[in-house]
Structure 1
Amino acid sequence: MAQSKRKDKDRIVLRTGEGQRPNGTYEYRWTERGGKRRRVYAKTLEELREKEKDIQKDKCDGIKAEARYKTVNDVYDTWRQLKRGLKDNTFQNYQYMYDMFVRPNFGKLRVSSLKKSDVKRFYNLLADERGLQTSTIDSVHTVFHQVLDLAVDDEYIRMNPSDNVLKELKQSHVFKTEKRRGLTKPEQELLLSFLQRNHTYSHWYPIIAVMVGTGLRVGEVTGLRWCDIDLEEGIIDVNHTLVYYDHRVTEGQKGCYFNINTPKTQAGVRQVPMLDFVKEAFIKEREYQEAMGIQCEITIDGYSDFIFVNRFGHTQNQATLNKAIRRITRDCNDEVLLKKDQNPVLLPHFSCHSLRHTFTTRMCEAGVNVKVIQDALGHADISTTLNIYADVTKELKKDEFAELDWFFKGKKQDNEVPQTP
């Protein structure tokens, strides 16, 4: 005898897996790969069958049923456990960016429900309401995109909804930013001369002069030890970098602390020749510390005898240096403006990293070979040198075009046909 078909309270025949609950709502039950039982609910049979269609489509596309229950935070936690091959400070920064900007709200969304418009809206919120800089949003995107790539690989979603989103937004008015540049030669001369003659800020001259004259990254400069420099030969041996964590909670360490890391890339291990004023800056720093009775009082991962220390004998860090630079810029410009010159040279807003650009700009102006520039800066890929650092200043362009004008005039004279008397 044929088994009677199951029906709901309205006498509508129910399909396999469908059922009506005592309160009148509906459910659909199925078994996923691996034998785990799953179920979804709906207020009406029509709504339930729409969900069934989605489930069947996911099955055909190989999308895991548990994706419906996975949040972005769940996938991130898996990504964090599996991620390898990153420098510790880079990985720590990724975690900070995610925990600060993604986890509290956006990270609670189900990964299977994310659309490209959701990601766009999230990035716009970071820019418009939270006022984040492009570079910060870029860092958030870097880790967020990798998390969603893992969701694709693990068959939770079909495609990464963050693909090309940041690129599109950078082209809009929201993400327009000024191009990075180093100091011009007059600005550089103003900065260094102000530091040399101003009693309040003269103790900052050596470290800033070294950054201007070497192009070292700020962690490479602050991590320099006296044994890393050879004043007789005029050589700086770059073999490690000092990393400052100002917002980390990891492995029992909370707040601010330092670590010693290998350089950013293998090419970062290098020797940089000293310019004369760089050598003089090192000597000036040593004389200042001897006069003030300052000596290094800190050991970090077995490293000590750091060159650039504060009055307490502790190492410098990027945040402190950038704060000092802001004060120096303010007071230097005030001094210039008091002179009431018609076309005064003023210091622009700049940071420690701008001094690395400044050094590169001077090398470009001097016509230094690009391979030498790459080696001095410690770039693993020459395209980085060409794309980021090969911008020339307006002064250099003017000089080059003056040479070009002379070249054309010279050629014209060579091609002139002598007139017969």
Structure 2
Amino acid sequence: MEKKTIREIASAWKEDKRPYVKRSTFAAYMLILENHILPYFGEYYVLKENYVQDFVLQKLNSGLSIKSVKDILIVLKMMMKFGVKHEWMSYCEWDIKYPTTESIKSLEVLTITNHRKILNYIRKNFTVYISLSTGLRIGEICALKWSDIDTDNAIVTVSRTIERIYIVEGEEKHTELVINTPKTKNSYREIPITKELLAIVKPLKKVVNNEYYVLTNEEKPTEPRTYRNYYKQLMDKLEIPKLKYHGLRHSFATRCIESNCDYKTVSVLLGHSNITTTLNLYVHPNMEQKKRCIAKMFKSLGI
């Protein structure tokens, strides 16, 4: 059996993988390879558990989240299986341990007051309004066309996303703006339009070109980075504390949960791959909710 280094296996694995994944996915794999796997494992011939465990602890200590490290290990394991298949290396089982002390990070969410403040202000400039009333990701809102807004049935259809990806071609590295299919099959979705949003877009739909992008009202879209800068300026103008654009999506989901919407419906509206993602992100009962739950239970027992 001819042994190969991880760097050599990675080179062959890249070319094998390229035709079968989206460009954005391939670009993400390349970033993980360049920034994490090859600098650490490039000259290794075997991936023993203790090597990988040491790598994990080093990455966590450098500030990466457990999720980010697990994403790196997914790519590392794919490469190992590829190397084993071609008999270039031996397969190793891993039982990686992660610290249990990582606290749950609180989501950045608008207060109800600031949520209303934005909605009231941007009736005249409604693009941020769409995110706050639909929960779209920034890439989805940037890729939204007028044809995706059905005012007759009051529905927004999410069928594409836009993102800037990092391309590595040998020694050449550059970024490229690409329009892609949504993140997962669940991200293809239809979202009802509120009567307030419908009142804003219905007159516009009569005069716009259906094939133009909503944010630019042109045949070319804007990219997330540009729109994010516009959003920051808007938040400064409204004197609202800094909140990442994704916080609008979190705010939409949080308001849905606070309004006692059922979790499955919220999950479908957000385009999550499964309801567990929604539960882990947004369903964290506070003490008052816990008290009400127990009181309700005792009341049902007639106590």
TM-score between both structures, scaled by the size of structure 2: 0.77
- For 2:148 and 2:271, the matched residues in 1 are separated by 16
Displacement after TM superposition at 1:148 (Å): 2.3
Q: Deviations over 1:75-133 (max 9, x none)?
A: 22232233365333122211122123333x22422222x4434334434444445x545
Residue in structure 2 matched with residue 88 of structure 1 by the alignment: 23
Q: Is 1:242–1:258's contact at 8 Å kept on the other side of the alignment?
A: no
Partner of 1:73: 7
Distance 2:67 2:55 in 1: 16
Q: Is the 8 A contact 1:267 1:380 kept in 2?
A: yes
Q: Is the 8 A contact 2:84 2:91 kept in 1?
A: yes
Code of the aligned partner of 1:319 = R
Give the TM-score taking structure 1 as reference length.
0.58
- Whether contact under 8 Å (2:147, 2:211) holds in the other structure is no
Q: Specify the SS of the correspondent of 2:98.
A: helix
Higher relative contact order (CA 8 A, sep 6+): 2
Query: Deviation string for 1:323-352 (max 9, x for gaps)?
Result: 4445555565xx4xxxxxxxxxx64x5423
Q: CA deviation at 1:73?
A: 1.3
Aligned residue for 1:223? 143
1:229-308 matches, within 5 Å, as 229-239=149-159, 241-249=160-168, 255-280=174-199, 282=201, 304-308=211-215
Corresponding residue for residue 318 of structure 1:
224
Q: Is the 1:308–1:316 contact (alpha carbons within 8 Å) kept by the matching residues of 2? A: yes
Determine if the alignment matches structure 1 residue 367 to structure 2 residue 247.
no
Identity %: 22
Q: What SS is found at the alignment partner of 1:237?
A: strand
Question: If you compute each CA radius of gyration, which structure gives the higher value, 1 or 2?
Answer: 1
Partner of 2:37: 102
Amino acid at match of 2:107: R
Partner SS state of residue 111, structure 1: coil
- Amino acid of the structure 2 residue aligned with 1:320: T
Q: Hey, which bits of structure 1, 4+ residues long, moved more than 6 A?
A: none
Shift of 1:190: 4.2
Q: CA 1:280–1:306 in structure 2 vs 1: closer, same or farther (change >3 Å)?
A: same
Are the aligned partners of 2:167 and 2:173 in contact in 1 as well (CA < 8 Å)?
Answer: yes
What is the CA-CA distance between 1:305 and the residue it aligns to? 0.6
Query: Could you say which residue in structure 2 is the equivalent of 1:6?
Result: none
Question: RMSD of the alignment, in Å?
Answer: 3.8
Counterpart amino acid of 2:288?
A: K
1:233-283 per-position Cα deviation (integer Å, ceiling 9, x unaligned):
3111222x23322432459x9634333322233333322110133335546
Query: Is the Cα contact below 8 Å between 1:224 and 1:307 reproduced in 2?
Result: yes
Question: 1:216: how far off?
Answer: 1.9
1:158 is aligned, of 91, 109, 119, to: 91
Mapping for residues 341-380 of structure 1, pairs under 5 Å: 347=241, 350-380=243-273
What secondary structure is seen at the aligned counterpart in 1 of 2:190? strand
Q: Give the Å deviation of 1:304.
A: 4.6
Where does 1:140-159 land on structure 2 (aligned, <5 Å)?
A: 140-155=72-87, 156-159=89-92
Whether the aligned pair in 2 keeps the contact of 1:76 and 1:147 (CA below 8 Å) is yes
